[in-house]
Amino acid sequence: MTSRWTRRRVLATGARLGAVALGSSVAGACRSRRVDRPNVLLVTLDTTRADHLGCYGYGRDTSPTLDALAAESVLYTRALAPGTWTLPSHASLFTGKCPTSHGARYDPHGSLVLASAIPNRPTLNEYRVRGLAPTETTLASVLGKAGYHTGGVAGGPWLKGVFGLGTGFAWWDDDGIGSVNGRVAADLNARALPWLDRVEEPFFLFLNYFDAHAPFLPPVDLAARYLSAPVPPGAPPTPEQTLALYDAEIRYADQHLGDVVRLLARRNLYDRTWIIVTSDHGELFGEHGLRGHGTAPYQEVLHVPFVSKPPLGDGGLGERADPIQLTDVMALVLERLGVPRPDGTQGAVPPKLGRPLMAESYVLAALYPYGDWFAIFDGDWKYMWNSQGASALYDLAADPREETNLLAADPERAASMERAMRQYLADLPRAQGDGPGGNVDDATREALKSLGYID
Ligand SMILES: [Zn+2]
């Protein structure tokens, strides 16, 4: 059986044709001179599991744009989110630090009050987060100082300016995020494409497509393509229908990513642009008795896509099985661009030799009473520590679905991995400085409420 963790890329003929249509040539890459200061396009497909994408072996055709890019890319088969939900994962992506060190996460003592105004829910008085502190050095601020034009367009409410993730961008667009589905890809592109059409080189553009985040409300024509039968009006979708709607949302975001790539090609910037497409976390659909994300760090949540289409001339295309995390993007990008890394960057250019691979999930008891989680990896072994004692040990090579907890069978391995985890966490610098403070505005609160973060 092919492991989901190590599943090899499947390149359909359509994907290859798509790559040609995008206006580049793999063969040409070998003969071309290296681009000195490439543009950087960084995309997060929010909530998108790697195993629901064609380039990671999924059976349904959800991602023709990404599959075409993957054919001209470095495709990391072991990419991991460092957190289990949007805010901490994006903060790691932008700062190169672990959640413990950048501090952007759920925090009962956090400076941002999200829910004290919600009536009849006194426990939600502790629904607070700590945003990303404005004193943090971000990839955008470093690239801005290095002469890059920087812009970001956000789809999801946790990327609204109040949470600090726009720190360092010269232009950060979060207008109109208040609807039940964040801001859909078409609205995001309506802001991103005009900027991309006129920006001068070099540029750094970040896009967050939020469409694959629940609730899954794809356009009717796309829903029909993935549903075997329509969802009756007023009826909740079955588990199978929910997956079909999720896949349709992935396809919707992928279509709009295609518009961005085509604009790059039309401006003759495709070959001079480094395109990185990843996700901040995946989604659980009943596996392990869980739905959604932001809780236990199972692979359905941690294993994210990571497709890196380098500028023409860089070479090194193909699959890579050494692990990469969003925390590593700062190091990866700055090393290639020849820009010094800021102090305190914890990520590393893969392979991450000598560093444990970890993910952290801080929760709020008012929302999830089953405790904080940490995951640490050692090759194919994964140890999940839980603050309420529900820890687990898995052999991902033999058991990619994490169905057999080997904690009792191999207590020495679990103890050793827990020691390594505690040592690494103890050595991590703690976040300095407060995130943005006060109460979030009514529109942000309504957006969070509509997404189910607040009752
Ligand atoms: Zn997210």
Residue 210's Cβ-side half-sphere holds a number of Cα atoms within 13 Å equal to 28
C-alpha pair distances (Å), 173 with each of 138, 152, 195, 381: 17, 6, 11, 41
CA of 413 to the centre of ligand 1 (A): 32
CA of 338 to the centre of ligand 1 (A): 30
Identify how many contiguous H helices and E strands the chain contains and give both numbers. 13, 20
Alpha helices in 269-349 (DSSP H): 299-302, 329-337
The size of the chain, in residues, is 455
- Residue 50: pLDDT band by 50, 70, 90 thresholds? very high
- Residue 261: pLDDT band by 50, 70, 90 thresholds? very high
According to the model, what pLDDT value does residue 122 have?
53
**Minimum mean pLDDT among 153-157, 206-210, 226-230, 449-453: which range?**
449-453
Residues sharing a CB contact under 8 Å with residue 291, sequence separation 6 or more, in sequence order: 284, 285
Domains in the chain: boundaries: 13-450
CA of 302 to the centre of ligand 1 (A): 11
pTM over 0.85: yes
Measured distance CA(361)–CA(421) in Å, rounded: 14
CA of 214 to the centre of ligand 1 (A): 10
**Minimum mean pLDDT among 20-24, 202-206, 396-400: which range?**
20-24
CA of 343 to the centre of ligand 1 (A): 27
The pLDDT mean for the chain works out to 88
Mean pLDDT across the stretch 366-391? 94
Mean pLDDT across the stretch 393-409? 98
User: Residue 209, SS3?
Assistant: strand
Nearest to 359 by CA among 115, 8, 81, 105: 81
CA of 211 to the centre of ligand 1 (A): 10
pLDDT exceeds 70 at position 121: no
CA of 293 to the centre of ligand 1 (A): 8
CA of 370 to the centre of ligand 1 (A): 21
CA of 54 to the centre of ligand 1 (A): 21
CA of 349 to the centre of ligand 1 (A): 24
According to the model, what pLDDT value does residue 403 have?
97
CA of 362 to the centre of ligand 1 (A): 15
Mean pLDDT across the stretch 70-88? 96
pLDDT exceeds 90 at position 111: no
According to the model, what pLDDT value does residue 14 have?
35
pLDDT above 70 covers a percentage of the chain that reads 84
Torsion of CA 442, 279, 253, 212, to 10 degrees: -60
pLDDT exceeds 70 at position 22: no
pLDDT exceeds 90 at position 18: no
Bridging pattern class, strands 438-439 and 112-113: parallel
CA of 280 to the centre of ligand 1 (A): 5
Q: What CATH fold (topology level) applies to the domain 13-450?
A: Alkaline Phosphatase, subunit A (3.40.720)
CA of 427 to the centre of ligand 1 (A): 27
CA of 159 to the centre of ligand 1 (A): 9
- Residue 123: pLDDT band by 50, 70, 90 thresholds? low
Measured distance CA(311)–CA(40) in Å, rounded: 9
- Residue 195: pLDDT band by 50, 70, 90 thresholds? very high
CA of 281 to the centre of ligand 1 (A): 6
The winner for highest mean pLDDT among 196-200, 230-234, 310-314, 354-358 is: 196-200
According to the model, what pLDDT value does residue 15 have?
40
CA of 374 to the centre of ligand 1 (A): 18
- Residue 432: pLDDT band by 50, 70, 90 thresholds? confident
According to the model, what pLDDT value does residue 447 have?
62
According to the model, what pLDDT value does residue 12 have?
37
Better-predicted residue by pLDDT, 115 or 243:
243
Measured distance CA(372)–CA(453) in Å, rounded: 17
Measured distance CA(454)–CA(363) in Å, rounded: 14
CA of 283 to the centre of ligand 1 (A): 9
Bridging pattern class, strands 306-309 and 203-209: unpaired
Bridging pattern class, strands 438-439 and 392-395: unpaired
pLDDT exceeds 80 at position 134: yes
**Minimum mean pLDDT among 68-77, 99-108, 290-299: which range?**
99-108
CA of 46 to the centre of ligand 1 (A): 5
pLDDT exceeds 90 at position 136: yes
pLDDT exceeds 90 at position 389: yes
Residues sharing a CB contact under 8 Å with residue 418, sequence separation 6 or more, in sequence order: 376, 383, 385, 391
CA of 134 to the centre of ligand 1 (A): 21
CA of 226 to the centre of ligand 1 (A): 23
CA of 366 to the centre of ligand 1 (A): 20
CA of 186 to the centre of ligand 1 (A): 18
pLDDT exceeds 70 at position 196: yes
Q: Are 271 and 241 in contact (CB under 8 A)?
A: no
CA of 44 to the centre of ligand 1 (A): 9
CA of 303 to the centre of ligand 1 (A): 13
Better-predicted residue by pLDDT, 362 or 368:
362
CA of 153 to the centre of ligand 1 (A): 14
**Minimum mean pLDDT among 6-10, 122-126, 166-170: which range?**
6-10
Helix H or strand E encompassing 413: helix 411-427
